Structure 1
Amino acid sequence: MELNRLRWAARRGMLELDLILSPFVENVYSSLPEREQQLFEKLLECEDPDMFQWFLHKGEPEEADIREIVVIVRSHATNAGG
């Protein structure tokens, strides 16, 4: 996905998600292997309330691929102080 479209897709209806996803797009996404980039794009198709729960460690995605990218995003959010 083109970077500008990805930035737009990462903007959500919840500030908490914006604070996790936008910095990830700006600082991490381009350095990911292609497979993980595709997983991130797939993650952006998920519902906001689900992502919110996953990033707050209050639930886990059922799908293994989504779990994998959630762990990656969480680790970068934690390392960035988020």
Structure 2
Amino acid sequence: MDERLDPTDLGRLRWRCRRGLLENDLFVERFFRDHEATITKRQAQGLMALMDLPDNDLLDLLLGRRELQGELDRPEVHEVLAQMRRPTLPASA
């Protein structure tokens, strides 16, 4: 399950992750910028679970206003959410 996504599946995942709220899109774009080359099938499953949420619920999770509960409380979802919440490190000068 730690197999990396092939380019076709990665493209489908990126397409599926488009959001209606700009704030969510910013988190998603940063996630792909930082992790696109290493996304595994397991992480893709976690990301898809998050993308099934309504925009406002997703934003609450991304901002830490609430935590994962119920069927979302799974290791792969926790992993992706932690990656998406992690602040971007400044580029070295």
- TM normalised by structure 1 equals 0.75
| 1:22 pairs with one of 20, 25, 29 | 29
Paired position in structure 2 for 1:74: 85
Which residue identity lines up with residue 28 of structure 1 in the other structure?
A: H
Work out the CA distance in 2 between the residues paired with 1:10 and 1:80: 23
Paired position in structure 2 for 1:64: 73
Which residue identity lines up with residue 47 of structure 2 in the other structure?
A: F
Aligned to 1:28, what secondary structure does the other structure show? helix
Which blocks of at least 5 consecutive residues in structure 1 are unaligned? Answer: none
| CA deviation after TM superposition for structure 1 residue 18, in Å | 0.5
Paired position in structure 1 for 2:5: none
Which residue identity lines up with residue 72 of structure 1 in the other structure?
A: Q
Which residue identity lines up with residue 74 of structure 1 in the other structure?
A: R
**Identical aligned pairs, as a percentage?**
28
The answer to which structure has the higher helix fraction is: 1
Over alpha carbons, which structure has the higher Rg?
A: 2
Runs of 4+ deviating beyond 6 Å: none
Which residue identity lines up with residue 64 of structure 1 in the other structure?
A: D
1:54 aligns with 2:61: yes
- TM normalised by structure 2 equals 0.68
